[in-house]
């Protein structure tokens, strides 16, 4: 049975998993403005959820976390990302997620957040390859338990922990027979302080080819626009590119027909995004989460600084809409 990666065109793009950013509301807005006019024959955009705790999903209190796993059909294909370090809980979480309609499950082995690392998860797994292998097996077993053999298994990671470990870490992961490998072109130590080095992605592709495995290689790091992503695919030979911070305030990112967005259109989408956030997530997330998008939406036009200041004082979508309408002169 074909998996999601077999159904994609030769050149494809992915939306990165970002906590409190690529939530259900923002994904739906991106789907609305980027996934409608790109490729009618074959969808070339793959969405990721925010990362979700496998421990939490394997616990009685999983109901709250389930909110992070809602999605619309317009967002498909979509991958659910899990993090954790306990193989038994990872298996139970994967078994549950496999029943929700996702196209695959991704394991986070690259998050540098200290609270995640303290659990032995995220980038801490770069230093614990044996547990990394057990977690990959646990996800595969969980998918089997759910009888969903068409789901893909992937890993998102970095080129190393304190230094470049490509020659050891990447072959190890590829030997685990995963369907896709997403590589952030920095070490954990570098965080985002140094520019992503895409020569490392090229080397990852070479290692994959030398090993003669079919794993899709997806590069990630410092991609500012769609044209740049396309050029990086040509330069490195990777199968796809994942976009993270470049998507902030720009749900049109994947739509090549939208070269320049007028401030009025951007602000109207901000209101739409805010209303959707309140509808989908207002019952379990603080409204302050939505505000991190305002800086990205509201910039590079006259009065932007003052408008941002007003928006940061709001508490709900109604207040946001009133302020934007006033700024636009009642339009």
Query: Catalytic amino acids?
Result: 111
Q: Tokens for 320, please give them.
A: 């946001």
DSSP symbol at 123: G
* Exposure string for 283-314, b = 16+ CB within 10 A, e = fewer: eebebebbbebbeebbeeeeebeebeebbeeb
- On whether the CB atoms of residues 70 and 50 are closer than 8 A, the answer is no
Comparing C-alpha atoms, which of 232, 227, 269 is closest to residue 248?
Answer: 269
> CB-side exposure of 166: number of CA atoms within 13 Å?
20
CA distance 216 to 210: 14
Query: What Å distances lie between residue 229 and 13, 14, 19, 49, 314, CA to CA?
Result: 8, 10, 22, 21, 36
As beta bridge partners, residue 15 has: 243
Here the tokens at position 126 are: 């770069």
User: Up-side HSE of residue 175: CA atoms within 13 Å toward CB?
Assistant: 11
């Amino acid at each position: 049975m074909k998996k999601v990666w077999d159904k994609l065109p030769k050149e494809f793009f992915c939306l990165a998993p970002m906590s409190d950013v690529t939530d259900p509301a923002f994904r739906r807005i991106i789907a609305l403005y980027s996934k409608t006019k790109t490729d009618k024959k074959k969808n070339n955009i793959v969405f990721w959820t925010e990362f979700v705790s496998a421990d939490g999903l394997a616990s009685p209190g999983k109901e709250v976390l389930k909110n992070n796993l809602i999605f619309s059909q317009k967002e498909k294909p979509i991958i659910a990302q899990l993090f954790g370090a306990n193989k038994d809980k990872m298996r139970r979480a994967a078994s549950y997620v496999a029943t929700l309609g996702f196209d695959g499950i991704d394991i986070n082995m690259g998050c540098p957040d200290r609270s995640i690392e303290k659990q032995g998860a995220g980038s801490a797994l770069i230093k614990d390859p044996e547990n990394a292998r057990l977690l990959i097996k646990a996800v595969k077993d969980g998918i089997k338990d759910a009888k969903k053999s068409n789901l893909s298994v992937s890993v998102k990671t970095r080129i190393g922990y304190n230094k470049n470990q490509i020659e050891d870490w990447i072959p190890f992961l590829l030997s685990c027979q995963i369907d896709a490998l997403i590589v952030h072109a920095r070490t954990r130590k570098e965080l985002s302080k140094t520019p992503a080095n895409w020569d490392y992605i090229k080397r990852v592709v070479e290692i994959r080819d030398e090993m003669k495995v079919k794993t899709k290689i997806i590069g990630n790091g410092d991609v500012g626009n769609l044209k740049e992503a396309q050029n990086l695919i040509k330069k490195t030979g990777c199968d796809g590119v994942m976009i993270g911070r470049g998507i902030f305030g720009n749900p049109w990112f994947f739509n090549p027909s939208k070269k320049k967005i007028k401030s009025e259109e951007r602000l109207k989408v901000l209101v739409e995004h805010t209303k959707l956030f309140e509808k989908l997530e207002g019952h379990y997330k603080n409204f302050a989460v939505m505000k991190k998008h305002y800086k990205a939406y509201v910039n590079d036009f006259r009065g932007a600084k003052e408008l941002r200041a007003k928006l940061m004082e709001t508490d709900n979508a109604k207040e946001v809409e009133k302020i934007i309408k006033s700024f636009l002169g009642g339009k």
